[in-house]
């Protein structure tokens, strides 16, 4: 939901990245129309040996083959390996963005035991660029790396990210329960008719956890209903107002007041880069009451947990008030105590408090000082473990049920479902393996909160819908994004392949990992 507060920049789809990896993203985005999710470095790849592509793919030119092999040679610490050989292939922009130390710092993370197999699995082309994607496999991990060439045959984009690794379900449950803080996960597999074939759930802590910016899916659902009902069209325009601007993430807060933006553009940016200002303008247009009324029709199991349905600016404001305002409005001096009162208060009292906060916003315009408001939010929320009570809450299964309903054409109506899925697809693709024909993604993060939701549809007609919610971990733990995303995509792989590793182990009498904690997989 915010940039620069927790080290989890939502401007890149709310998926955490390390600083060096972000340079790869910046170089890639300079050449691509659609941003992709950032890298999720962990261990991975050693020297590659070429093998036949898994399916018919346009062969990569010698430059690309040599580039991939050279990167792997450096990772494997082979004699003569030098990242300057990689930089020599870059265009001027890439060379400026990625000094030698940046490449070495990133690739040093990507080390694992065992020889790697490099398989060319995909190729794509536009009018100006061509790209090739390889699957790098070894003993413990798999990686995807994509190399893009411009018309001058220079490397103008380079992507490296963790790929799903086949693991037994029991092992995944154990890893999920081993995460710090509270965690809830739900992963569903559906057939081509929308019939659920399998569901896996695992977790510890409260059933209802904070969503971060995944709450924006409920704004999207109401927009889709409204468009399908003929109340408005996606080509209708809203007008940017200073009073409705929020803090980053996003870009629309930088637009001048009076700028006109189509609903389609606002909704896409709300999902694509989690634009908070776009979200708040859409929420104001649709109406808080309508969004709240739609929660029960969006398969939320406890709509009262989402009321009053906060705007992003209201959330930031409540968590960054002055002590005197806390005492005057809530009768408590500390954010932790305010959050506890918010949690326990009846809805009518919450609405009364929110009206007072809205008046503070109107009087002080905290959005006009984003750095100051953001810093105060960061400091106060870091010192208040219960601040997540002032959020949007749901079960992980609620989010899965929302997306699955749209997939079946049952989110309000078939037309509303179509609009929802079209805009949900603006989000980054986390699971980019062969055979994917459609996807959707929305994530969320704030201090001590990290959340992921996705839909992945396959060429065989099946699909996976998944949601993972985490909170209560150390907000300074920079490993949370990579750790969580890696586990998440492994879960998707497990549902897709029907727990093939687990079944193979059972067949041979090798139980593999185990499960513990509150809940085991179903």
Give the DSSP per-residue string, 257-292: TT-EEEHHHHHHHHHHS--HHHHHHHHHHH-HHHHH
SS3 174: helix
CA 218 distance to own-chain centroid: 16
Give domain status of residue 135, yes or no. Answer: yes
Residue 518, pLDDT score? 55
Residue 37, pLDDT score? 35
For position 497, which CATH number holds? Answer: 3.30.450
Residue 76, pLDDT score? 83
Give domain status of residue 229, yes or no. Answer: no
Half-sphere exposure of 197 (CA within 13 A, CB side): 16
Residue 522, pLDDT score? 56
Across 179-183, 504-508, 513-517, the highest mean pLDDT is recorded for 179-183
Tens of pLDDT, residue by residue over 318-377, are 999 999 999 999 999 999 999 999 999 999 999 999 999 999 999 999 999 999 999 999
DSSP structure string for 191-233: -TTS-EEEEEEEEES-SSEE-GGGGHHHHHHHHHHHHHTTS--
Tens of pLDDT, residue by residue over 447-484, are 999 999 999 999 999 999 999 999 999 999 999 998 99
Which secondary-structure segment (H or E) carries 86? helix 84-87
Q: From CA 4, how far away is CA 23, in angstroms rounded?
A: 16
Does residue 172 register a pLDDT over 80?
A: yes
Residues 351 and 399 in one domain: no
Residue 95, pLDDT score? 93
Residue 161, pLDDT score? 84
Higher pLDDT, 34 or 257: 257
User: Where does the pLDDT of residue 113 fall: very low under 50, low under 70, confident under 90, or very high at 90 and above?
Assistant: confident
Residue 105, pLDDT score? 87
Residues 363 and 446 in one domain: no
**CA nearest 398: which of 210, 226, 175?**
210
Give domain status of residue 290, yes or no. Answer: yes
DSSP state of 334: S
Domain count, the chain: 3
Residues 379 and 325 in one domain: yes
Parent domain of 449? 169-210+394-508
Q: From CA 182, how far away is CA 184, in angstroms rounded?
A: 7
Domain end, chosen from 329, 364, 389, is at: 389
Give domain status of residue 513, yes or no. Answer: no
Residue 156, pLDDT score? 95
Q: From CA 461, how far away is CA 453, in angstroms rounded?
A: 20
Give domain status of residue 226, yes or no. Answer: no
Residue 49, pLDDT score? 30
Q: What is the mean pLDDT of the chain?
A: 88
Instruction: Record the tokens describing residue 21, joined without a space.
Output: 């990896």
Which secondary-structure segment (H or E) carries 470? strand 463-471
SS3 163: strand
Residue 509, pLDDT score? 85
Residue 511, pLDDT score? 61
Higher pLDDT, 56 or 452: 452
Burial class (CB in 10 A: 0-12, 13-18, 19+), 233: exposed
User: Where does the pLDDT of residue 162 fall: very low under 50, low under 70, confident under 90, or very high at 90 and above?
Assistant: confident
Residues 262 and 349 in one domain: yes
Residues 442 and 363 in one domain: no
Neighbours of 113 (CB within 10 A): 10
Task: Identify any residues that bridge with 475 across adjacent strands, giving them in sequence order.
Answer: none
Burial class (CB in 10 A: 0-12, 13-18, 19+), 263: buried
Unique residue bearing structure tokens 């809830």: 184
Residue 117, pLDDT score? 79
* Dihedral over Cα of 417, 218, 206, 15: its sign: positive
Domain end, chosen from 389, 417, 452, is at: 389
Residues 132 and 184 in one domain: no
Residues 483 and 356 in one domain: no
pTM (2 d.p.): 0.85
Residues 56 and 194 in one domain: no
Residue 437, pLDDT score? 95
Alpha helices by DSSP H, 384-413: 396-408
Residues 28 and 147 in one domain: yes
Give domain status of residue 3, yes or no. Answer: no
DSSP structure string for 89-116: TB-HHHHHH--HHHHHHHHTT---SS-E
Average pLDDT estimate for 20-29 = 34
Q: From CA 451, how far away is CA 397, in angstroms rounded?
A: 13
SS3 189: strand
Q: From CA 502, how far away is CA 107, in angstroms rounded?
A: 31
DSSP state of 178: T
Neighbours of 400 (CB within 10 A): 25
DSSP state of 251: S
Q: From CA 293, how far away is CA 274, in angstroms rounded?
A: 23
Residue 516, pLDDT score? 45
Give domain status of residue 45, yes or no. Answer: yes
Give domain status of residue 443, yes or no. Answer: yes
DSSP structure string for 2-51: -SSSSS--GGGTT----HHHHHHHHHHHTT-SS--PPP---S----EEEE
Question: Contact at 8 Å (CB) between 423 and 220?
Answer: yes
Residues 15 and 156 in one domain: yes
Does residue 521 register a pLDDT over 60?
A: no
Residue 176, pLDDT score? 98
SS3 390: coil
Question: Contact at 8 Å (CB) between 518 and 203?
Answer: yes
For position 32, which CATH number holds? Answer: 3.10.450.590
Residues 6+ apart with CB under 8 A from 433: 121, 144, 163, 164, 493
Residue 134, pLDDT score? 93
Burial class (CB in 10 A: 0-12, 13-18, 19+), 267: buried
User: Where does the pLDDT of residue 492 fall: very low under 50, low under 70, confident under 90, or very high at 90 and above?
Assistant: very high
Residues 187 and 101 in one domain: no
Residues 115 and 180 in one domain: no
Tens of pLDDT, residue by residue over 130-161, are 999 999 887 888 889 999 999 999 999 998 88
Does residue 50 register a pLDDT over 80?
A: no
Does residue 512 register a pLDDT over 90?
A: no
């Amino acid at each position: 939901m915010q940039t620069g507060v927790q080290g989890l920049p939502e401007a890149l789809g709310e998926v955490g990245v390390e600083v060096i990896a972000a340079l790869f993203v910046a170089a890639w985005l300079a050449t691509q129309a659609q941003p992709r999710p950032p890298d999720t470095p962990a261990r991975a790849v050693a020297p590659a040996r070429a093998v036949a592509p898994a399916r018919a793919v346009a062969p990569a030119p010698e430059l690309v083959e040599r580039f991939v092999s050279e990167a792997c040679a450096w990772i494997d610490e082979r004699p003569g390996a030098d990242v300057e050989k990689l930089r020599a292939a870059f265009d001027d922009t890439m060379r400026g963005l990625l000094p030698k130390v940046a490449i070495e710092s990133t690739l040093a993370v990507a080390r694992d035991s065992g020889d790697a197999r490099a398989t060319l699995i995909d190729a794509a082309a536009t009018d100006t660029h061509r790209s090739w994607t390889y699957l790098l496999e070894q003993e413990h991990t798999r990686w995807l790396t994509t190399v893009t060439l411009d018309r001058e045959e220079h490397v103008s984009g380079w992507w490296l990210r963790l790929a799903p690794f086949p693991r037994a379900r029991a092992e995944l449950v154990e890893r999920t329960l081993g995460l710090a803080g509270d965690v809830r996960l739900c992963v569903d597999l559906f057939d081509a008719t929308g019939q659920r074939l399998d569901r896996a759930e695992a977790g510890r802590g409260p059933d209802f956890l904070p969503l971060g910016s995944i709450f924006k899916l409920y704004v999207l659902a109401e927009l889709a209903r409204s468009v399908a009902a003929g109340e408005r069209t996606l080509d209708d325009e809203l007008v940017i107002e200073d009073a409705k601007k929020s803090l980053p993430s996003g870009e629309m807060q930088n637009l001048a007041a009076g700028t006109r933006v189509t609903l389609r553009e606002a909704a896409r940016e709300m999902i694509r880069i989690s634009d908070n200002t776009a979200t708040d303008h859409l929420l104001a247009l649709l109406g808080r009451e309508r969004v709240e009324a739609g929660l029960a029709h969006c398969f939320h199991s406890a709509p009262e947990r989402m009321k009053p349905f906060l705007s992003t600016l209201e959330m930031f404001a409540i968590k960054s008030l002055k002590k005197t305002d806390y005492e005057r409005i809530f009768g408590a001096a500390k954010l932790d105590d305010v959050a506890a009162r918010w949690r326990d208060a009846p809805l009518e009292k919450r609405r009364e408090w929110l009206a007072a906060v809205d008046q503070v916003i109107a009087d002080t315009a905290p959005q006009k000082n984003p750095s100051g408001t953001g810093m105060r939010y960061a400091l106060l929320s870091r010192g208040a473990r219960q601040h997540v009570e002032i959020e949007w809450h749901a079960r992980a299964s609620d989010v899965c049920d929302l997306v699955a309903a749209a997939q079946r054409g049952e989110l309000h109506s078939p037309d509303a479902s179509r609009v929802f899925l079209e805009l949900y697809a603006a989000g980054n693709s986390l699971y980019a393996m062969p055979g994917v024909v459609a996807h959707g993604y929305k994530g969320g993060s704030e201090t001590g909160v990290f959340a992921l939701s996705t839909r992945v549809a396959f060429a065989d007609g099946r699909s996976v819908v998944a949601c993972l919610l985490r909170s209560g971990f150390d907000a300074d733990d920079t490993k949370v994004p990579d750790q969580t995303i890696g586990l998440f995509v492994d879960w998707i792989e497990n549902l897709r392949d029907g727990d093939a590793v687990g079944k193979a182990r059972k067949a041979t009498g090798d139980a593999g990992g185990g499960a513990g904690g509150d809940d085991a997989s179903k």
